[in-house]
């Protein structure tokens, strides 16, 4: 036999053993794993790099024929653009080059400059330096501020200025910003917790009073007693409210006492109230260890703080909480219904044409666009079920709805309905793989059908059930379209969980990581500032799905 025939026979035998499919499957799995890992690395680098305190440059910038001007800001990215494109945009450039480099500079000071970001041609930047006294101020409004600290004021009195050393001037600022932060925390505690609890109790009293007015069969003596109790409780709450309001007035007066003045890149000196400042730091004077500590602080703040500045600043804690709570509620609902439905279809239902139609309907239901489920949830859960619940149990709240409006409960039920086919199909496939001989052996040993199902079949089918649940969680956590109709909002004023009974308020609207990504990425008025947060939030959404699966 020739060598060529031997090679052909060996190749045919290799194919018969199925080794090509093994290599193809291994390659497909490897490519998928590399793609997923690469995506996670991209999201992490592009997102979490945003929290590193980048150096801030000072430079002179002058285009041909223009007066030089001072530029202060962070260099965000650099790209090459054709010279002809720049000339068509109105730039007068005397160069023979084909391409020119330009930098995206985050200059901040939106209340002074009008724009947070600006594009500058790298070739026209000169005298680039990184002064150690250049500071970055994170504000509660108007984004970042870049400039040089010139003085610290207490009321209208300057308590520290350029006559002191740079370290002494900065120490005077840090002393007063800590005081402002403490006052701000006190104000937030009073407004959100203490006054919030009083308002909640006052609303309960109002509803109780409204309920009395609707109850025409109540005896006169009982009505008078109830009204007297309500009046006494309201007077006590009003007294507490007045006390907190007086304290708030004093705190607001106190927090607006201190301010600083700073010089911006145009040379103008502006005044900043410390009440409007979140942090201030000097990145050019920070060591690598200092920057690492600040980075960790910013990352923790991103995970635990509330959003601000149209969701382009601050943290995403409400979105993380809303996503996890909704997915857990959805899992509690979809798991028993999906598993029971699959058990009935596989183990108890009589096989026939009707059952085949039911299975086909379940399979088709898995392919229905998610927005259709959102419309169904809005019409059935919110308006029908929620409206009925309000009419039966909350007549005193009319016309203000309680459950007759989109909220956490209806969003969870809508996504449970959306993912129900996934759990049914996965569980039924797992039950179908259990050999019939095992069922017959259990029955032959005297076990009932229910005992056989509970002790033999279900334990062996549990991996398939978990697969269905994992797929349901992954899909529910990433859905956005139906949630926009049944409960998710851009910014929730309060979490569904608080210290007021019943503690978990399923009727409240909530924030969601998926919708937060959509809102920040496509609805933000400041696209460049929002882009890193889109990457960071996307990475956290993937991480939340993985943790929920565990």
* Model confidence pLDDT, tens digit, residues 337-393: 999 999 888 888 887 888 888 888 888 888 888 899 999 999 999 999 999 998 888
Percentage of the chain exceeding pLDDT 70: 98
Nearest to 92 by CA among 126, 121, 50, 135: 121
**Whole-number Å distance between alpha carbons of 446 and 489:** 56
SS3 136: strand
Q: What average pLDDT score do residues 488-501 get?
A: 81
Residue in the block written with tokens 């985050």: 106
- What is the per-residue DSSP string for 36-61? HHHHHHHHHHHHHGGGS----EEEEE
Give the Cα separation of 523 and 201 in Å (integer): 36
What does the pLDDT read at residue 57? 92
Pairwise CA distance, residues 335 & 343, whole Å:
12
Residue-wise pLDDT for 296-351, tens only, equals 999 999 988 888 877 778 888 999 999 999 999 999 999 999 999 998 888 888 87
Q: Are 401 and 387 in contact (CB under 8 A)?
A: yes
* Per-residue pLDDT, 3: 67
In this prediction the pTM is: 0.86
251 in Cβ contact with 183 (< 8 Å): yes
Give dist(CA 473, CA 334) in Å, integer.
Answer: 10
């Amino acid at each position: 036999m020739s060598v060529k025939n031997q090679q052909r026979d060996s190749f045919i035998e290799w194919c018969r053993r199925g080794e090509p499919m093994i290599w193809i499957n291994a390659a497909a799995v490897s490519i998928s794993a590399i793609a997923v890992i690469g995506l996670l690395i991209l999201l992490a680098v592009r997102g979490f790099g945003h929290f590193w305190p980048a150096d801030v440059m000072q430079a002179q910038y002058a285009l041909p024929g223009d007066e030089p001007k001072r530029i202060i800001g962070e260099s965000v990215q650099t790209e090459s653009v054709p010279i002809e494109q720049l000339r068509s945009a109105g730039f007068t450039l005397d160069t023979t080059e084909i391409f020119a480099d330009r930098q995206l500079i985050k200059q901040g000071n939106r209340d002074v400059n009008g724009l947070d970001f600006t594009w500058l041609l790298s070739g026209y930047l000169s005298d680039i330096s990184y002064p150690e006294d250049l500071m970055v101020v994170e504000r509660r409004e108007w984004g970042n501020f870049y400039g040089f600290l010139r003085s610290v004021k207490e009321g209208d009195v300057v308590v520290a200025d350029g006559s002191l050393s740079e370290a002494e001037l900065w120490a005077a600022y840090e002393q007063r910003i800590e005081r402002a932060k403490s006052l701000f925390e006190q104000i937030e505690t009073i407004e959100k917790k203490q006054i919030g609890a009083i308002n909640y109790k006052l609303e309960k009293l109002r509803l109780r009073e409204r309920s009395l007015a609707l109850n025409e069969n109540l005896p006169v003596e009982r009505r008078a007693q109830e009204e007297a109790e309500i009046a006494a409780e309201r007077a006590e709450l009003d007294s507490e409210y007045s006390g907190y309001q007086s304290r708030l007035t004093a705190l607001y007066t106190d927090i607006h006492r201190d301010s600083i003045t700073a010089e911006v890149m145009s040379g103008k000196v502006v005044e900043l109230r410390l009440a409007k400042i979140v942090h201030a730091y000097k990145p050019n004077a920070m060591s690598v260890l200092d920057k690492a500590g600040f980075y960790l602080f910013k990352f923790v703040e991103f995970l635990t703080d509330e959003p601000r500045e149209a969701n382009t600043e601050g943290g995403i804690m409400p979105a993380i909480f809303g996503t996890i709570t909704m997915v857990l509620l959805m899992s509690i609902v979809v798991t028993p219904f999906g598993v029971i439905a699959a058990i009935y279809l596989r183990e108890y239902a009589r096989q026939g044409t009707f059952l085949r139609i039911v299975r086909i309907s379940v399979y088709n239901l898995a392919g229905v666009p998610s927005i259709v489920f959102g419309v169904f949830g809005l019409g059935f859960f919110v308006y029908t079920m929620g409206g009925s619940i309000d009419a039966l149990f909350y007549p005193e709240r009319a016309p203000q709805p309680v459950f007759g409006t989109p909220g956490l409960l209806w969003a969870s039920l809508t996504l449970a309905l959306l993912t129900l086919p996934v759990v049914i199909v996965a569980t039924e496939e797992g039950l179908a793989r259990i050999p019939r001989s095992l069922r017959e052996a259990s029955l032959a040993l005297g076990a009932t059908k229910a005992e056989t199902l509970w002790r033999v079949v279900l334990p062996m089918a549990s991996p398939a059930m978990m697969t269905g649940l994992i797929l349901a969680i992954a899909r529910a956590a990433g859905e956005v379209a139906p949630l926009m109709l049944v409960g998710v909002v851009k910014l929730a004023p309060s979490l569904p969980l608080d210290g007021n009974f019943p503690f978990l308020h399923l009727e409240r609207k909530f924030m969601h990581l998926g919708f937060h990504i959509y809102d920040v990425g496509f609805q933000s008025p400041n696209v460049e500032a929002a882009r890193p947060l889109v990457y960071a939030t996307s990475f956290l959404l993937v991480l939340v799905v993985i943790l929920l699966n565990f």
